[in-house]
Structure 1
């Protein structure tokens, strides 16, 4: 699975394993730029190796369109996308009875 702009990923290795972030740039077939709008702002993204990430199925269309149109995205939008994703996964887990 190849990463896409606006895609939500789970960090598996590094300083913050278990954290979620949003792909805000694609370097090449091995690396992407990540930001979460909180600890990791858009202006100082983290370059991560794809092998250290778990790609989620969720892609934030708001983040994707903002980056495509203006080349940037606000940290608030990144935080909102991650909050919405967290809420959605909680609802799904609750529905499954976990």
Structure 2
């Protein structure tokens, strides 16, 4: 039975991590494992090659999708860490109320 309260995550979508070691930080969806789990990376501490498997109930989906990241993942199956960092910078600059990413 599908949970209607959770949106369908898109590749390149920015999320706010609510639980776990990376709580309080923003990341980008770089993969979908199944309807409950996604792979997250931020290009800083969490690189694309070591993306974090995360339950979708432990993240808050933002209304920002990086078309460049999405296109790269569909065409090449991977994305550079620089593109991930750029996508997060774009998100933070267009959403002034978003909390700053902590290191």
Same fold, judged at TM 0.5 (above): yes
Q: Using the alignment, how far apart are the partners of 1:58 and 1:27 within structure 2?
A: 21
Count of residue correspondences: 92
Q: Using the alignment, how far apart are the partners of 1:39 and 1:2 within structure 2?
A: 26
Q: Note if 1:76 corresponds to 2:93.
A: no
**More helix by percentage:** 1
Q: Aligned-pair RMSD on alpha carbons?
A: 1.1
TM superposition score normalised by structure 2: 0.87
Structure 1 residue ranges without an equivalent (≥5)? 94-98
Deviations 1:6-44 (A, max 9, x none): 000000000021100000000001000000000000000
TM superposition score normalised by structure 1: 0.91
Segments of 4+ moved more than 4 angstroms: none
